[in-house]
Chain A
Amino acid sequence: MNEETTCWDDVSDVLAAGMARVLLYGPPGTGKTFAALHFGAPGGAAERIVCTDDLTSGEITGTWMPRGEQGFEWWDGPAIRAWCANEGQGGRLVVDEVDRASGDALATLLAVTDSVESSRWRHPDTREWLRPGPDFSVVMTSNVDDLEEIPSALRDRFPVRIRVDRPHPAALERLSADLRVPAENGSLGPAERRVSLRAFYAFDQLRDAYGPRRAADLVFGPVADHVLDALSVSAVS
Chain B
Amino acid sequence: MSVIYPELASGRGDLRAGPWLVRAGSALRGGASCQLKERILEVPLEAGARARVVRAHELMHARVSPLAEHFGACRDLPVRALECAEEYRVNALLSRTGFDVGLLADGSEKAGGRSLAAAGEWAEAACFFVAVAGTGAERAFLAGVRQVRPEWAKALRILGRRVEAVVASLATDVMASTRSGEDELPVGFGRSTLEIARVLARVMDARVPVSTEELRTFRRSLEPGGRRPVTGRFALLVVDPRPSLVEGTGTSAIRRPRPSVSGTTLRYPGRLVFDARRRAFSTRVTRRAGVVVIDQSGSMEIDPGEITRLLRHAPGSLVVGYSHRPGDHTNAPNAWVLARRGCVASDFPVGNVGNGVDGPVLRWAASMRRRSEPLVWVTDGQVTDSNDYPDPALTDECAQLVRLHRIRLVRRVSEVEKVLRQPTPMTPFELRSFGRVGRRLGELRLV
Interface residues of A (CB under 8 A from B): 1-4, 166, 181-182, 184-186, 188-190, 192-193, 195, 223, 225-227, 229-237
Pick out which of these stretches binds chain A: B7-15, B70-78, B220-228, B418-426: B7-15
What are 13 residue pairs bridging A and B, where the CB atoms are less than 8 Å apart in the complex? A4-B17, A188-B18, A189-B19, A193-B3, A232-B98, A233-B56, A233-B63, A234-B9, A234-B11, A236-B63, A236-B64, A237-B63, A237-B188
How far does the alpha carbon of A235 sit from the alpha carbon of B9 in the complex, in Å?
A: 8
Chain B neighbourhood of A182, CB < 8 A? 7-9, 11
Closest to B4 in A: A226
Query: Which among B115-123, B173-181, B273-281, B364-372 touches the partner chain?
Result: B173-181
Q: In the complex, how many angstroms separate the beta carbon of B384 from the nearest chain A beta carbon? A: 43
> A189–B20 contact, CB under 8 A?
yes
- B187: nearest chain-A partner, CB-CB: A237
Asked, given contacts A184-B11, A185-B7, A234-B8, whether A229 binds B55 with beta carbons under 8 Å apart, the answer is: yes
B residues 142-191 near A (Cβ < 8 Å) are: 172-178, 188
Task: State how many angstroms separate the Cβ of B343 from the closest Cβ of chain A.
Answer: 54
Q: Is B17 a contact partner of A186 (Cβ separation < 8 A)?
A: no
Residues of B within 8 A of A237 (CB): 63-64, 172-178, 188
* B16 touches A (CB below 8 Å): yes
A181 near B173 with CB under 8 A, answer no
Instruction: Give complex CA distance A33, B52 in Å.
Output: 37
Contact of A186 among B8, B98, B99 (CB under 8 A): B8
Residues on A with beta carbons closer than 8 Å to the beta carbon of B172: 236-237
Q: Tell me whether A236 and B2 are in contact in the complex, defined as CB-CB below 8 angstroms, given that A185-B8, A229-B56, A230-B9 are known contacts.
A: no
* B-chain residues with CB within 8 Å of residue A3 when the two chains form the complex: 16-18
A188 touches B63 (CB 8 A): no
Give the residue among A184, A185, A231 with the most B Cβ atoms within 10 A.
A185
Question: Could you say which residues of chain B place their CB within 8 Å of the CB of A232?
Answer: 56, 97-99
Contact A189 B5 (CB under 8 A): yes
Helix, strand, loop or mixed for chain B's interface? helix
**A231-B8, A232-B98, A234-B63 known; A166+B3 contact, CB < 8 A:** no
Residues on the B chain within 8 Å of A184, using CB: 11, 17
Choose from A188, A195, A230 the contact partner of B17 (Cβ within 8 Å): A188
- Give the chain B neighbours of A223 by CB distance below 8 A: 3
A223 to B7, CA, bound (A): 15
Contact A193 B7 (CB under 8 A): yes
B60: chain A residues at CB < 8 Å are 233, 236
Report the Cα distance A230→B62, complex, angstroms.
Answer: 10
List, in ascending order, chain B residues with CB within 8 A of A4's CB: 17
B175-215 contact mask (Cβ, 8 Å, vs A): 1 or 0: 11110000000001000000000000000000000000000
Q: Name A2's contact: one of B16, B55, B99, B175 (CB within 8 Å).
A: B16
- In the assembled complex, the Cα of A190 lies from the Cα of B19 at a distance in Å of 7
CB distance from A124 to the nearest CB of B (A): 49
Complex CA distance for A227 and B172, rounded to whole angstroms: 21
Q: Are A185 and B17 in contact (CB under 8 A)?
A: yes
- 7 new A-B contacts, CB < 8 A, other than A234-B11, A237-B176, are A188-B7, A189-B5, A227-B5, A229-B52, A230-B8, A236-B96, A236-B173
Whether B416 is near chain A, meaning CB under 8 Å from some CB there, is no
User: With a CB–CB cut-off of 8 A, which chain A residues contact B99?
Assistant: 229, 232
- Determine which of B9, B16, B20 lies in contact with A233 in the assembled complex, contact meaning CB atoms within 8 Å: B9
**Cβ–Cβ contact B97 & A233, under 8 A:** yes
How far, in whole Å, are A166 and B8 apart by their CA atoms in the complex?
A: 12
Interface flag for B6 (CB, 8 Å): yes
From A181, A188, A229, A234, name the one whose CB has the most chain B CB atoms within 10 angstroms: A229
Contacts of B97 in A (CB 8 A): 232-233, 235-236
Question: Residue on A with the closest CB to B93?
Answer: A236
CB <8 Å contact, B56 and A185:
no
Please name all residues of chain B whose beta carbon is closer than 8 Å to the beta carbon of A185 when the two chains form the complex: 7-8, 10-11, 17
User: Which residues of B18-77 have CB atoms within 8 Å of chain A's CB atoms?
Assistant: 18-20, 52, 55-56, 59-60, 62-64
* CB–CB A230/B176 < 8 A: no
- 4 nearest CB pairs, A to B: A181-B11, A237-B176, A230-B5, A230-B8
Let me know if B3 and A192 touch, CB within 8 A.
yes
The residue on B at minimum CB distance from A186 is: B8
